[in-house]
Amino acid sequence: MKKEIIISGVGGQGLILCGTLLGEAAVIHDKKYATLSSEYGVETRGTFAKSDVIISDREIYFPDATQPNLVVCLAQAAYARYSGAVPKGTLLLYNADEITGDPARAGCEWGLSLTSMARAQGAAATINIITLGIIAGMTDTVTLAGAKDAVEEFFSPKGQKIVQMNLGALELGYQTGMQLRRAASA
Amino acid sequence: MGKIRFMQGNEAMTEGAIAAGARFYAGYPITPSTEVAETSAIRLPQVGGVYIQMEDEIGSIAALIGAACAGKKAYTATSGPGLSLMAENLGVAVLGEVPCVIIDVQRSGPSTGMATRPAQGDVMQARWGTHGDHAMIALAPSSVQDCYDLMRTAFAYAQRYRTPVIFLADEIIGHLRERCVIPDPEEIPPAEQPDAIGNLQEYRPYDHTNGLAPLAAYGSKHIFKINGSMHDQMGRPCADPQNADQVIRHLSEKIEGAKDEITLTRAYRMEDASYVLIAYGGTARSALSAMELARAEGIPVGVLQLVTVWPVAEKEIDAALAQVKAVVVPELNLGQFIGEVRVRNRRNIPVVGVNRVDGKPIEPAEILEKLREVMA
């Protein structure tokens, strides 16, 4: 098993945290190999940024995604870079609340209202954790238990309320991911 | 077994330094090495060490030299622009024979360049950045585990050869997060200690007639001088030609002459290789992936990874050159190391580079393409 995932958007959206938690779940909980390499600008926020996560049963050499299985776009700048540019068979998911999708590609890309989902969880900032859940639900990369562990450990210094909110976001993302997976195989 | 962590390269360097016994850091944060400073600022005080944020890189290495002279294992982290500022005082550490470790997480240059983009443009700067004849030790990690493990090696070499050591990392590995096993504290062997000075009547910090003289600590009972001027065995300024000749030859010889112990390499699938990829640092990962792609096509290729970049792993490179039909040297610069392979190319086989300077890592497919070219 080797899966490559690109989580893209702009700096400040928590993309690298999403990738880090994914990697932690895989390595620490699920005992797999994982790499996370990022690309970002010199600005703290607002310009293109991405995380490449590779999860595998064996040691990973080149740590950048060259054949991504899934690309998640959380900002227009990221969508502009990947839409139509990913290899055939790669799933592209985007946040339809933030991104105007190309109608011509509606058949092969999926828009989700991630901002609305995140707000319903209590904070728009949970988009990255919803995304983590979606990735866990859609792909055989990490187990839900592993992702929960990683989320809980990361947020626990911020208090139980924040932990619960993010676990809720993770669960919601996971269920969404499972639905997408069924739809994709149907 | 230790603790499995999903860790960043820069963070692993800090942990590795502490495990090696380092207790002093002076530096000026710079992308892409900043996390070494951040984590050192948190971790060193927890283990009784000292972290100082300096006014600049000139001051950083000056403080490092001072701390090392006072008997501390000392390190700093920077990137190309900072290494440029450190160049002058790096020479003081070379001539003064002061052990210390300088981490250079290479980014795209020259000058400010592209702060967040990877490069391997400081290979020659690490070797010849400071002026005058000298040898240099530079180690290039290619994984987060290397960042941890090789810090120990770097400090051991610094101590053993009384020299500054450059930890020649790059943005790819410094910022990479991956699996890293951190041994439990009780599993970590004690750090290499300097030889005892004993009860010498007159301590001579530069009397190397019976092997390298140990370095006494400032504040101990031994009084000695260290400065940037040519010195005699006591460290006193001395312009005697014979003395200068001896000292300068010694600075090179103590490292070049111990090459076999210092040069670390890793050979992958070399047994039956007709082609070899010679690589170091983050680019070794591209080479290993390229090797897998090529092997899947039936191309008998191996990888020779240079963990020690300086001094040159002459024996291993010679052996590879004697074995194969062609060599590909991928580098994230315009070919700073390939010359070292070419001057040893006695059979005149093709030795070609794959070079990128656009701030992006070399992709395995590019190396494979070059390999196909040289095979044709």
Name residue B92's amino acid. Answer: V
Question: Which pLDDT tens digit goes with each residue over B24-75?
Answer: 999 999 999 999 999 999 999 999 999 999 999 999 999 999 999 999 999 9
Q: What is the mean pLDDT of chain B?
A: 96
| Domain limits for position A23 | 2-185
Tokens representing B68 are 């090392």
- Domain end marker among B187, B221, B245: B187
Q: Are residues B55 and B147 in the same domain?
A: yes
Give B190's pLDDT tier (boundaries 50, 70, 90).
confident
What is the predicted pLDDT for the residue at B62? 98
For position B221, what pLDDT does the model report? 82
Q: What is the CATH number for A140?
A: 3.40.920.10
pLDDT digits (tens, 9 = 90+) for B95-138: 999 999 999 999 999 999 999 999 999 999 999 999 999 999 99
**B200 assigned to some structural domain:** no
- Our measurement of the distance from residue B118's CA atom to the centroid of its chain's CA atoms, rounded to an integer in Å, reads 17
**Residue in chain B nearest A17 by alpha carbon:** B177
Whether residue B46 is contained in a domain is answered as: yes
Q: Measured between beta carbons, which residues in chain B are less than 8 angstroms from residue A5?
A: none
Q: Could you tell me the CATH number of the domain that includes residue B278?
A: 3.40.50.920
Residue B247 domain-assigned?
no
Chain B partners within 8 Å of A41 (Cβ) = 116
The candidate with the shortest Cα–Cα distance to B128, out of B117, B138, B120, is B138
Q: Where are the alpha helices (DSSP H) in B161-257?
A: 171-175, 241-256
| DSSP string for A58-105 | S---S-S-SS-SEEEE-SHHHHHHHTTTSPTT-EEEEETTT----GGG
Chains A, B: CB contacts under 8 A, how many?
63
Which residue among A38, A62, A66 places its CB closest to the CB of B175?
A38
Residue B199 included in any domain: no
In chain B, pLDDT over 70 holds for what percent of residues? 99
pLDDT at B200: 62
Range of the domain at B160: 3-187
Of the partner residues A27, A37, A62, the one whose CB lies closest to the CB of residue B179: A27
The percent of residues above 90 in pLDDT, for chain B, comes to 89
The CATH number covering residue B140 comes to 3.40.50.970
What's the residue count for chain A?
A: 186
- Tell me the two tokens of residue A70: 């899934």
Contact: A62, B4; criterion CB under 8 Å: no
Residue A33 to residue B178, Cβ atoms within 8 A: yes
Closest by CA to A147, choosing from A7, A2, A17, A37, is A17
Chain A hits for B363, CB-CB cut-off 8 Å, are 62, 64, 66
Rounded to an integer, what is the distance from CA B48 to the centroid of its chain? Answer: 26
pLDDT digits (tens, 9 = 90+) for B297-345: 999 999 999 999 999 999 999 999 999 999 999 999 999 999 999 999 9
Q: Confidence band (pLDDT; 50, 70, 90) for A155?
A: very high
Stated as kind and residue range, the H or E segment containing B81 is: helix B80-96
Question: Using CB atoms within 10 A of its CB, is residue B297 exposed (0-12), middle (13-18) or buried (19+)?
Answer: exposed
CA distance A107 to chain B (A): 30
For residue A43, the chain B residue with the least C-alpha distance is B116
Query: How many domains are there within chain B?
Result: 2
Q: Which of B165, B187, B209 is the last residue of a domain?
A: B187
Same domain (yes/no): B148, B288: no
B210 belongs to a structural domain: no
Which DSSP symbol is given to B204? Answer: -
Closest-CA distance, A25 to chain B, in angstroms, reads: 9
SS3 B285: helix
Q: How confident is the model at residue B199 (pLDDT cuts 50, 70, 90)?
A: low
Residue B298's φ and ψ, nearest 5 degrees, are: 90, 10
Which site among B5, B6, B266, B277 would you substitute to test the A interface, given the most A Cβ atoms closer than 10 Å to its Cβ? B6
> Which chain B residues have a beta carbon less than 8 Å from that of A38?
175
Q: Do A37 and B292 touch (CB under 8 A)?
A: no
Cβ contact (<8 Å) for A35 and B176?
yes
B224: left (phi over 0), alpha (psi -120 to 50) or beta: beta
Whole-number average pLDDT of chain A: 94
CA-CA-CA-CA torsion sign (B52, B32, B354, A1) = positive
Q: How many domains does chain A have?
A: 1
Q: Which amino acid is at B64?
A: L
Residues of B with CB under 8 A from a CB of A: 4-6, 31, 115-116, 172, 175-179, 285-286, 288-289, 292, 361, 363-365
CA-CA distance, B66 to B98, in Å (whole number)?
A: 9
Smallest Cβ–Cβ distance between B6 and the set A23, A62, A63 belongs to A23
Does any domain span residue B228? no
Interchain proximity B116–A63, CB inside 8 Å: no
- Provide the pairing of β-strand B137-139 with B164-170: parallel
Beta carbons within 8 Å of B246's beta carbon, 6+ residues apart: none
User: What ipTM goes with this model?
Assistant: 0.94
Contact B30, B79 (CB under 8 A): yes
* Residue B366: other Cβ atoms inside 10 A: 16
Q: How far is CA A182 from the centre of its chain?
A: 18
Quickly count helices (H) and strands (E) in chain B.
13, 15
Residue of A nearest to B175 (CA): A37
B contacts of A34 (beta carbons < 8 Å): 6, 178-179
Domain end residue (candidates: B170, B187, B204): B187
pLDDT attached to residue A184: 83
